[in-house]
Amino acid sequence: MKFRTLMLSSAAAFSVVGGAQAADLTVAEPVEYVKVCDAFGVGYWYIPGTDTCLKIGGYVRVDVSFYDPEKKLFYSNESHTGSFDFVTRGFLSITAKSMTDYGPLTSFVSFRSTFDPSASTDNIANIDEAFLTLGPLLAGKTASTYDYGGGFTYDGSDLDSDTALQQIRLSWAMNGFGLMFAVEDQRYRWGSAETDDMPDLVAAITASSGPWDAKLSVGYADLLTGGGWGVQAAGTVKLDQIAPGDLFRVKVAYAEDAYSFAGSTNAGTGTYWSALASFKHFFTPTVYGAVTFDYLSMPTGADDWQGTGQITWLPVRNFQIGLQAEYRDSTDATKVKLRFQRDWGG
């Protein structure tokens, strides 16, 4: 009986002490978990404590290129005598979106860092794009309003207008049509030594309906040699009836005294024009090929053309292994590129 009384007394004592200690413990704050944001599409999540949605994307890419040693300098400024080189690139993009009374407020920034012993920017991270949008307004660095996009091969095209630069743009879209006006920093397109007193002026009309989209753009530039202008028309058609994912693209451009609007890097006055055609075909859901042909006519008579072919294998989701070969007429140079790339996000 005494033992039983002792045990009951001890249990009661521990209960009192435990209750007192429990009362003294600080109550933990509830954990705020990251929540999915589905207001702007797949891949966004709320920044905790805010109404801003964030999305992170990027890729890691390794290219191994092979050249004719006698023609290598047309593609690379590397001084060693080897007929190949390795280039590794990392890319990271961040998109932040929130809804306002004026429409979505978006900020986007992407960084690109390339490890290439042949380049002067070896191991330097650069801002690839950085811009803000609110309603119809865009301000920052992104693809020129004049441009449309190159071929479906890895390197697109060396003979078309494909420029990312700083700009202020107004755009409106309705019923499949869009209208854009932009004032663009001309220095990146033409170089500071060739531009005069005003930025480039660009306007474009876009249209899309079901399996196709198109764009017509015009640009005016004030150069030291006088005013110049260019016009470009481009379109892409989905060819899912051949194979899901198949695409065909065509683009033509014409410029007077404004060489870059036609894709030329050779400065000068006169008439320039260029044309591009590209086709992408899926042989199977995990293997596709692409070909691009582009042509550039210059007033000097030194016309140029380039042909590129590519085959790519997608062994797993978001990972690719591809092989590309290209030939350029003006340099009589050939390059073969082997690529490994893993993408994530968007």
> Looking at residue 190, which CATH number applies to its domain?
2.40.160
Mean pLDDT of 152-174: 94
CB 188 within 8 A of CB 165: yes
- pLDDT band for 150, please (50, 70, 90 cuts): very high
3 CA to centre of own chain: 80
- pLDDT band for 302, please (50, 70, 90 cuts): confident
Where in the sequence is the domain holding 148, given as residue range(s)?
136-302
In a domain, 318, yes or no: no
CB 230 within 8 A of CB 262: yes
Indicate if the alpha-carbon torsion angle 10, 11, 14, 20 is positive or negative.
negative
- pLDDT band for 26, please (50, 70, 90 cuts): low
Per-residue pLDDT tens over the stretch 306-344: 999 999 999 999 999 999 999 999 888 889 999 999 999
Determine what percent of the chain is predicted with pLDDT higher than 90. Answer: 68
In a domain, 57, yes or no: no
- Stated length of the chain: 346
Distance CA 207, CA 235 (A): 9
- So what's the pLDDT on residue 46? 94
DSSP character at residue 73: G
In a domain, 36, yes or no: no
- So what's the pLDDT on residue 17? 44
- So what's the pLDDT on residue 71? 66
- Bridge partners, residue 305, by sequence: 295
Per-residue pLDDT tens over the stretch 8-17: 444 444 444 4
In a domain, 208, yes or no: yes
Which amino acid, residue 5?
T
- Bridge partners, residue 143, by sequence: 164
CB 168 within 8 A of CB 181: no
- So what's the pLDDT on residue 346? 72
For residue 119, pLDDT over 80 is answered with no
Name the most confidently modeled range: 43-47, 276-280, 326-330: 276-280
Q: Looking at beta carbons, which pairs linking 69-72 to residues 24 or more positions away fall under 8 Å?
A: 71/331, 71/332, 71/333, 71/334
Q: Tokens for 316?
A: 């797993």
- Enclosing H/E stretch for 214: strand 212-223
In a domain, 267, yes or no: yes
Where do we find the tokens 């003294």?
Answer: 24
- So what's the pLDDT on residue 125? 78
In a domain, 269, yes or no: yes
In a domain, 103, yes or no: no
Q: What are phi and psi of 156, to 5 degrees?
A: 60, -95
- Bridge partners, residue 103, by sequence: 100
CB 66 within 8 A of CB 83: yes
Distance CA 83, CA 70 (A): 9
Indicate if the alpha-carbon torsion angle 7, 11, 17, 21 is positive or negative.
positive
Determine what percent of the chain is predicted with pLDDT higher than 70. Answer: 84
- So what's the pLDDT on residue 338? 97
Per-residue pLDDT tens over the stretch 223-249: 988 899 999 999 999 999 999 999 999
- Structurally, how many domains does the chain consist of? 1
The structure's pTM equals: 0.85
HSE-up of residue 84 (Cα within 13 Å, Cβ side): 8
Output 70 or 327, whichever has higher pLDDT: 327
Mean pLDDT of 163-181: 96
Distance CA 89, CA 60 (A): 6
In a domain, 61, yes or no: no
Mean pLDDT of 106-112: 96
How far apart, in Å, are the Cα atoms of 304 and each of 105, 234, 290, 294?
43, 20, 21, 9
70 CA to centre of own chain: 33
